[in-house]
Structure 1
Amino acid sequence: MTDLASAFPTRPLKLRKTGIVPGIFSYLGGLMFLGIAGFIAVWQAPGIYNDIIISQNPVVVYDSTVEDGHCTTRRFVFTDCEAHVTYSVKGKTFERDIELMFVDFGTKDYEVEVVRSADKPQIVGLSLGLDMLWNRIIVGAAFVLGLGALGAALFFKGARADRVRAMARKALPLTPIPVNVVAISNVVGAKAVAYIIPRPGKKPGPNIASRIGRKQDLFWLNGDGQALAVLHAGSKHPILLDAELTRLDLTEEERRKIEAARDGVEPAAN
């Protein structure tokens, strides 16, 4: 890499293209996951909160009617139940729609009783909801936190992509570095390349993604799947270069000098 580094321009350079997908797509994905997390929270949290109150002082409501009660199990694991309950307390009639979600293996019928809070008769639930209360809390929290974390990660990814794309528009010092290409696949209108920064003796870092044209190739360094990338000063996100180096704002002389130096490149450590 020494010869190639010495052949690389020391002047600040702009990048004409980065191959990085704009952050807006990550933001939209993040909003989708956050929206699903919010939906699950709004859907399940009130029922869980009511059943926590009921569990503190439950009373079975024998004079009650359960309509449209059914449970659906998906993939033999996730079960959601619905029921419309009508009951009376001291001559006052109450009606409530009850929805539950929990994890239970296999499919089976559930026998349930209508239970209410002795202290707050307007709060009603099903005995199944109390039996599965901790199950529901854990499952609901896992969904909300997991989807929320995915949404936040996508927002972070989008912000990082936009930051790198913004830096590319500025003339900044660039450092050439070898990267290990781990996968190339065809996507709509382009090729998607996954690559990592080689770290000898250490666990490989996360895959970095870039897009190049269908008819373009990478600036390969050797026969071991290494290609050339450049790193902005102060950045940790290397930009993958194409075979013709058109992503860099180079003069023709600078381009020829880099291409000529490649013949003397020493394989970098994997």
Structure 2
Amino acid sequence: MGLMNKLVEVFPTRPLKVVKLKQEGSLHQIRRIFAAIFFFGLAMFIALKNYPGLITDYKISRNPVVVDYDVEGKCRAKRIIDNCSVKITTDKGQVITRDYVFLGGAKENYKVVAVASADDPSLVTIDLAISNMRNLFWTTTVLTLLLLVVTWMILVLFLRTHKMIKVIDEINGQKLTPVIVPIKLASYGKTITSLYRANNAQGKNVKCIAHFNKHVDGGGPIIIGDMIKNKCNALAVVGESNTIPILLDQDFTRCDFTDNEIQALTEALS
């Protein structure tokens, strides 16, 4: 008798409750939302802090002229990070405050002079900003894009987890059927991430995810057969009203199995 037939034969025919994994809880979902907001806000802060000044510096760099304006503040070199915070006072009493952070690596602090645009004298900066304009542009762009990618990844994780939560809520209390699902595993720290695909009720092939906590969620998914390059088969269940599989855990704690049912399933898998 094949493994699947053995599992079907001993699998409970009564309605079963399905338990959410720890990372499928409301607290983790709320944390993901706040994390996404934080990283997106940080990306916008970096972009809005640097790009307007870069635009001004670019305009000045097209026709720069050194001007004898009073420059207060310091440009400090700290390892590979250089920080400038200056206040420029023009001959008309206009005060311009500029702050710069860029990759440098100078061994001593900088001496700077004020530079204005010959085409538009109201545009004023310092010579160091002009010489490091490309450096600051690429640093700002890379950091902004990196933070936006992190934001996107968090939102994708939130949406996929939300989808799995909806499936669990829908099939909870229904009669379940065991299925074997091909998955891809990734392990980091105490978390085992299982990625797999399945057809939903509309016949669309969708990406699914399950995050197992090794110490809380029953030790991870039930692996069937051998694992090759982090790919293997795992035991899951599907409900009567939804075809998206929900992975079971090694201790069979995701459903309210009785001790006798767990023993029968364990023997069928052995």
Write out aligned runs for 1:84-123 (5 A).
84-88=87-91, 92-123=92-123
Identity rate of aligned residues, in percent? 22
Q: TM-score, normalised by structure 2?
A: 0.73
**Contact conserved, 2:75 with 2:111, CA < 8 A, in 1?**
no
RMSD: 3.6
- Which of 20, 31, 35 matches 1:25? 31
**Contact conserved, 2:213 with 2:219, CA < 8 A, in 1?**
no
**Contact conserved, 1:44 with 1:140, CA < 8 A, in 2?**
yes
**Contact conserved, 1:177 with 1:231, CA < 8 A, in 2?**
no
Deviation at 1:10, TM superposition (A): 9.5
Structure with the bigger RCO (C-alpha within 8 Å, sep 6+) is 1
Deviation at 1:20, TM superposition (A): 2.8
**Contact conserved, 1:78 with 1:101, CA < 8 A, in 2?**
yes
Cα distance in 2 between the residues matched to 1:49 and 1:56: 11
Taking a change above 3 Å as real, the CA distance of residues 95 and 195 of structure 1, as seen in their structure-2 partners, is closer
How many residue pairs match? The answer is 243
Cα distance in 1 between the residues matched to 2:110 and 2:221: 63
Q: TM-score, normalised by structure 1?
A: 0.73
1:51 aligns with 2:72: no
Residue 64 of structure 1: aligned partner: 69
Give 3-state SS (helix, strand or coil) of 1:145's partner.
Answer: helix
Give 3-state SS (helix, strand or coil) of 1:36's partner.
Answer: helix
Cα-to-partner distance string for 1:86-137 (whole Å, 9 max, x where unaligned): 121xxx2221111122212353332322101222222110111111111111
1:210 aligns with 2:216: no
Cα distance in 2 between the residues matched to 1:230 and 1:13: 13
Deviation at 1:242, TM superposition (A): 3.8
Moved more, 5-14 or 157-166: 5-14
Taking a change above 3 Å as real, the CA distance of residues 240 and 222 of structure 1, as seen in their structure-2 partners, is closer
Residue 179 of structure 2: aligned partner: 175
Where does structure 1 lack aligned partners over 5 or more consecutive residues? 186-191, 199-206, 264-270
Cα distance in 2 between the residues matched to 1:68 and 1:177: 63
1:162 aligns with 2:167: no
In the alignment, residue 80 of structure 1 is paired with which amino acid? N
In the alignment, residue 115 of structure 2 is paired with which amino acid? V
Give 3-state SS (helix, strand or coil) of 2:146's partner.
Answer: helix
Residue 203 of structure 2: aligned partner: none
Moved more, 134-143 or 114-123: 114-123
